[in-house]
Chain A
Amino acid sequence: MRHYTFLILLFCSISAISQDCNNTLSGRVTDFHDGSLMVDATLIIAGTEQAVQTDSNGKFIIGNLCNDTYQIQVSHPYCLTKGFSVKVFGNTTKNFMLEHHLEELNQIIIDGKAYNDKSKTILQSSISKEALERFGSGSLGDALNSLSGVSSLNTGNTVIKPLIHGLHSSRVVIINNGVRMEDQEWGAEHAPNLDIHSVGNLTLVKGAGALQYGGNAVGGVIVAEASKVPIKDSLYGSTLQTLSSNGRGALLTTELTKSYLNGWYAKIQGTMKRFGDFKAPDYILSNTGVFERNFAVDFGLNQFEQGFEGYYSFYKNEIGILRASHLGGARDQIRAINSPKPLIINDFSYQINEPKQDVTHHLLRVKGFKRWSGFGKLSLQYDFQRNNRLEFDIRRGDDKGDASLDLELDTHTILLDVDTHLTEQIDLKTGIMARYQSNFAANTGVRRLIPDYDKYDLGIYTIAEYQLNDQWFLEVGGRFDRTQMDVYKFYRTSFWESRNYDQLFPEMVVEETNNQVLTNPQLKFNNFSATLGATVILNDESKLFVNYSLASRAPNPSELFSEGLHHSASRIELGDLRFHSEVGQKISLAFQKKNAVFGYSINPYIHSISDFILIEPTKVEQTIRGYFQVWEYRQTHAQLLGVDLEASYVFATNFQYNHQFSLVKGYDKTQNKSLISMPPVSTKNEIVYQNTAFNNIRLALESEYNFRQNEYPNTNFEVYIPETETYETVDVSTPPNAYHLLNFNSSIDLKVTHKSTLTIGLTVTNLLNTSYRNYLNRLRYYADDLGRNFLINLKINY
């Protein structure tokens, strides 16, 4: 391109000889963004090779020009060089604009962040790619667990759901590459369908402040972003292999990126993970293998003024569920709980049998953006997701091997976002979102846990950011969401009538068949959410974050429509059609102090949630299969209080000490008791030795102590045992004891060739092979948690 320009200019300059060449070109060079003056920008006139620099007012003047068209190249140390074509006629004035915020393009990060803040008045935590890779074969939940204030709700060791400040499932929004995950996140035994190796950076917002992602994130938002692609001609990639002793498995992930200076790029990434049965210290956890396969392709054009992106990812995961956890009722439950080891222990196997889950998630995203000077940035995104969830129980007869649950959830979303720079100090983010979702529950010969439905969402938000002065930054935002559901569900007539639905909602009945009634509930929810916050820079080292957020969440399909036996939980679950939205109000305060040697943050919060939807046992139902505990959803007023502490101290050259402490208390204010499944107090202490001068060697020893949860509701129940003619208590609520784990992590970088580095890592988790059970593991009644695990990580960057 430049050659042509020169050639053209060459001809131009020849023809220009005879002309009057005493004209001047003058003007200013300013920042595209905020109009600030660019000092010391260089302007080079092609052909004449005349060069001038802007003065302290951003002004320039070029003399001896003819009446002609000139190609001018404008450059600045902090900006991307740009070419302009200027027609000079007489003394001409022309202003040029350059893009000053290079970090957004991520060509070079001078000062700032490669990933934008998600909410500026809530202290956020993030995990970098390097840290994510240390988790090797772990999942998203494992990685998030390393942050203070986050724990996880597990089903065994492979289904790991993040719990933020005590809240999980529908209350935690996960954004994968700009797309809100719609992967049936409502279920406690549904793990996020996201490959952590496709993530370049993971950010956690512990609150509902990030309104651009949705107004219903009562618990918080997790934002996973792909690594940014540089704007230069390059081809690079990396391959990571992890071998693990526990589960005798391996993970292989590889990524290849091609980028061009003109902004075009393409990226492919793939992961494969295969594990057999895991092991507790004393026995094999039969049927706990995993087989995960993912890939993603990404391509697009990233320029300053415009760009677009096409992204597709495929995720498939087959997860075995501990065989001994599949039970036939309360009497089996007593046997399982009272047995010191799982009732079923088989030899090690890679085979994944029933009970198991097989989940497939497709995600397609197309996004385009355009910037206008003086207006801002406008982006439009369309995404499509298809989540197919199969759950296999142990079935008999002709149905053997067939799925008991087969749900297909399709979601289409359109997002239109406008970021404008109103004045020097005020930024305004506005957007609208429209979403259509349809769920199809195939007939598997088992009553549908989640019915067929169509759901329509419309949301609109505005967030204003105001930089008052050097110290104060203010943020205020509001969002409105409307949700409409059109549902077709078969209810058992006996249930429909026992709840008085036949009196309350006679208009919903479509037809009545033997023992069942087909209904068509049409539900509407209007939700308002808001955020108000400030960040105060107290001095060079300290910052204070204050935030109030209001979040409203419409009840999810499982809370509204559950009605029947939930096999994987061995209990009957009943939802309620009459629920309305739950509304959370959270005040969060964070004080952060950081210097080269010592840093800490303290983050207390109080969260009050009205119409909080929870599920708890209400009675015991006798069926022909024996007794089952009945768990009913109800709404209450909940209050959560907590504090997160983090500290790090460089106590000697290359030695660092890290500390984390999290505490959360949850209360049901209506019934004056503790909330179920609240994370117990936990603390982590770590000593890290890292020497960048010596092959970037890193050795870390971490101690993790989890206290016993002493505040829990008593949900035990009694059943009659005919063999012994006695009533026995089924203890489903007593939390397990406190436990302490030691983990070791190490890595070293070796230069293989000029361009490639090999990173070798050795990790040992549960170093002392401690037998323990975790209160937040739903299978804690039946088996111990994982025993010692040796992991070898090999990563090559090229």
Chain B
Amino acid sequence: MKPIKFISTLLFAFLLVTACSKDNDTPEQAHEEELITTLKVTLTPSGGGAPISLEYRDLDGDGNEPAVITVSDNLAAGVTYNGVIVVSNDAENPAEDITKEVKEENLEHQFFYTPGGDLDVTTSYSDSDDDGNDLGIEFTLTAGAASSGTLTFTLRHEPTKPNTGLSDAGGETDIAATFNLTVE
């Protein structure tokens, strides 16, 4: 066979192979199932009264839009509050309640409360996991003297349990949300 004949046969074969059609399917949108967008804390005064709500909401997750942080009211000095934490993914429709997952996997999770600045508050756990160690979805917060500062809620995944606090808890940080609070 002559080279030219050979080449033309090859080119023909090549055209046949490359002439395949392409599909234009658009991809399906990935729902970020594990995204946590919102941490909401409801503080109800134990002696009755209007609850105070704290909310940290960041709809685009690790995107560059800043989080919206709201605190409905100041804490009252000397009052003890019963706190409940709700974590959710509001980017889903309907919003996904992640607190449920934390409850189901209670042995692998724990919330921590860290006051900062001059904020005079003390916290204690009101609930426990299946092994009797602290879990922290429910807690009590006692406001001391008039002061202001920060309060950080941290959710750790797979911490060492039991522990004495964040410093020896280990694990990975799932949530770290900080609020500016005032006790008056």
Contact = CB atoms under 8 A, between A and B. Distances in A.
B46 interface: no
A597 to B, nearest CB: 49
B101 interface: yes
Contact of B6 (A378, A397, A434, A493): A378
Interface in A19-58: none
Contact of B27 (A445, A452, A492): A452
B173 A328 contact: yes
B116 interface: yes
A514 B66 CA distance: 17
A492 B39 contact: no
Contact of A434 (B14, B59, B150, B172): B14
A396 B155 CA distance: 13
Given A396-B105, A518-B29, A626-B176, A494 B65 contact: yes
B3 A372 contact: yes
A621 B61 CA distance: 10
Interface string A672-715: 00000000000000000000000000000000000000000000
Interface string B1-14: 10100110011001
Interface stretch (B30-38, B71-79, B127-135, B139-147): B30-38
Nearest to B29: A490
Interface string B118-158: 00000000000000000000000000000000101000011
A414 B172 contact: no
A327 interface: yes
B173 A626 contact: yes
Contact of B37 (A445, A516, A572, A624): A624
A725 interface: yes
Contacts of A382: 17
Given A396-B34, A397-B34, A624 B14 contact: no
A723 interface: yes
A399 B33 contact: yes
Contacts of A625: 36, 62, 173-176
A445 B32 CA distance: 5
Contacts of B27: 441, 443, 448, 451-452, 488-490, 518
Contact of B62 (A332, A490, A572): A572
Contacts of B28: 443
Interface in A462-506: 486, 488-490, 492-495, 498
B178 to A, nearest CB: 6
A414 B14 contact: yes
B114 to A, nearest CB: 5
A722 B64 contact: no
A518 B26 contact: yes
Interface string A391-427: 0001111110000000000001010100000000000
Interface in A350-392: 370, 372, 375, 378, 380, 382
A329 B172 CA distance: 8
Q: Which of B20, B62, B166 is packed against the most chain A CB atoms within 10 Å?
A: B62
A328 to B, nearest CB: 4
Contacts of B37: 624
Interface in B8-56: 10-11, 14, 17-18, 20, 22, 26-34, 36-39, 56
Nearest to A395: B34
Given A445-B32, A624-B67, A510 B91 contact: no
A725 B116 contact: yes
A382 B67 CA distance: 52
Contacts of B58: 623-624
A448 B1 CA distance: 51
A344 B170 contact: yes
B164 interface: no
A6 to B, nearest CB: 30
Given A445-B34, A492-B63, A510 B176 contact: no
A343 interface: yes
Interface string A440-470: 0101111110011010000000000000000
A490 B141 CA distance: 43
Nearest to B36: A624
B3 A378 contact: yes
B108 to A, nearest CB: 8
A328 B64 contact: no
Contacts of B3: 372, 375, 378
A651 B167 CA distance: 59
B85 interface: no
Given A328-B173, A331-B173, A414-B18, A725 B93 contact: no
A722 B178 contact: yes
Contacts of A445: 30-34
B62 A328 contact: no
B184 interface: no
A516 B29 contact: yes
A494 B20 CA distance: 38
B117 interface: yes
A557 interface: no
Contacts of B1: 370
A298 to B, nearest CB: 22
A434 B117 CA distance: 64
Contacts of A399: 33-34
Contact of B30 (A370, A434, A436, A448): A448
A515 interface: yes
Nearest to B57: A624
Given A327-B172, A370-B6, A621-B62, A488 B14 contact: no
Given A343-B170, A378-B7, A624-B177, A447 B33 contact: no
Contacts of B31: 443, 445
Contact of A394 (B101, B166, B172): B172
A332 B32 contact: no
A162 interface: no
A451 B29 CA distance: 11
Contacts of A328: 157, 172-174
A515 B7 contact: no
B171 to A, nearest CB: 8
A779 interface: no
A265 interface: no
A761 interface: no
A494 B34 contact: no
A644 B36 CA distance: 51
A332 B173 CA distance: 7
Most chain A beta-carbon contacts within 10 A, residue among B30, B31, B93, B158: B30
A410 to B, nearest CB: 12
Given A443-B30, A625-B36, A725 B117 contact: yes
A782 interface: no
Contacts of A723: 114, 116, 152, 166-167
A625 B152 CA distance: 12
Contacts of A443: 27-31
A344 B14 CA distance: 55
Contact of A565 (B20, B62, B65): B62
Contact of A498 (B11, B30, B64, B166): B64
8 contacts: A328-B157, A343-B170, A397-B101, A416-B10, A443-B31, A445-B30, A518-B27, A623-B62
CB-CB nearest 8 A-B residue pairs: A328-B173, A328-B172, A445-B33, A626-B176, A722-B152, A494-B65, A397-B101, A492-B63
Given A370-B6, A396-B34, A399-B34, 13 more contacts: A375-B3, A395-B34, A396-B108, A397-B105, A412-B17, A414-B14, A414-B18, A438-B22, A445-B30, A446-B30, A490-B30, A625-B62, A722-B150
Interface of A: 326-329, 331-332, 343-344, 370, 372, 375, 378, 380, 382, 394-399, 412, 414, 416, 434, 436, 438, 441, 443-448, 451-452, 454, 486, 488-490, 492-495, 498, 510, 513-516, 518, 564-565, 572, 621-626, 628, 722-723, 725
Interface of B: 1, 3, 6-7, 10-11, 14, 17-18, 20, 22, 26-34, 36-39, 56, 58-67, 91, 93, 98, 101, 104-105, 108, 114, 116-117, 150, 152, 157-158, 166-167, 170, 172-178
